[in-house]
Structure 1
């Protein structure tokens, strides 16, 4: 059994944020593999899928980003899943938009989700880093908590489709094969974007069109913002 975790923040107001690309990726996997209904469990939304014969639990922590580790630890303990069988998908500022890298272990890179997970389960889990690009240090908060632009859909939709279709390669340990498949998907992005039917964007499926939410000044989200990428 594997535990596939997507990181993000709960709530419709954050659903289209760059910081929520991990949630979007998990949703793409769930669609592609006809996962079961989402249930509220382990401080998360939880679903189950069979991917290339492997039982996979899909997890979207609902704790806000800086407490993601609480949910991951609960699920890992309940299902007796070792860190080596846990895969976490998350947004990566230090990769160009649309680029993907897979690695095991390493530092948290200033990411609050990983910073929360590491003390709970250790470092020996697999990370799938999904590039969102770096806007410059002074613009980081508004960048990660801002919605993807319409222009981003040209690479975002093929990327999410590719993750859904090829995640089985990662489950089998073929990380390079997975990255190659996604690189090919991005190379073909103009044709794929042109062929995408109107209204079928992964972003639009996730939320209705609406103005970007103002950044909160109080509550758990505000606390997270104060720590966001601190010390980068």
Structure 2
């Protein structure tokens, strides 16, 4: 196979994994940045470094089992993440079934996750913005549980940092999530 054909094969099967979060030191290690934490951990496991910026996003590229991948962290703040995602999808002509949005979810207990091939935003403003920018709900997503606290308003809860006990739980799930994500990349 020529180099051109090999590159075309890799490009035609390109997969885009997007981790949600907010840029800035004050948001690091908050519940709302769990998508960033997951995608950072995956990048580390694949020995990829965050060195490139495009379309208001920080990204890295790699190949896993002959599958070309892009890992992306939109730097537009959560509620405007769709602009960055749309630009990446359009630029690389990525089929919507080849993107995976990874984000925090209040309705799931900490330490759990759920995959959906499509659906509504479920009240998540970042997902809502992607739906608006792509013009469809038909894209895969991986919701990672952050739990909730009835005594704290959800908008305050998502911006709080994880407790030490929660950080231990997150470390456990990162291993399981990475295995799951590598399986998704390779399917």
| TM-score (norm. length: structure 2) | 0.88
Tell me by how many angstroms 1:153 deviates: 2.0
1:153 aligned to 2:167? yes
Q: 1:22 aligns to what SS in structure 2? A: helix
CA RMSD of aligned residues (A): 1.4
Over 3 Å counting, the alpha-carbon distance change for 1:75 and 1:137 in structure 2 is: farther
Q: Secondary structure at the match of 1:134?
A: coil
The offset of 1:159, in angstroms, is: 1.2
Cα distance in 2, alignment partners of residues 129 and 37 from structure 1: 23
Is 2:62–2:70's contact at 8 Å kept on the other side of the alignment?
A: yes
Distance 1:123 1:75 in 2: 17
Contact 2:67–2:186 (Cα < 8 Å) also in 1: no
> 1:130 maps to what in 2?
144
Aligned pair 1:48/2:34, yes or no?
no
Cα distance, 1:104–1:137 mapped onto 2, change above 3 Å: farther
Q: How far did 1:53 drift?
A: 2.0
Distance (Å, rounded) in 2 between the aligned partners of 1:98 and 1:37: 26
In 2, the alpha carbon distance for the partners of 1:162 and 1:123 equals 26
Question: Structure 1 stretches (4+) deviating beyond 3 angstroms?
Answer: none
Partner of 1:167: 181
Per the TM alignment, residue 138 of structure 1 is displaced from its structure 2 partner at its CA by: 4.7
1:140 aligns with 2:154: yes
Compute the displacement of 1:96 (Å): 0.6
Q: Is the 8 A contact 2:51 2:60 kept in 1?
A: yes
Q: Corresponding residue for 2:93?
A: 80
Q: How many residues align?
A: 173
- Structure 1: gaps of 5 or more residues: 174-232
8 A contact 1:32–1:165 mirrored in 2: no
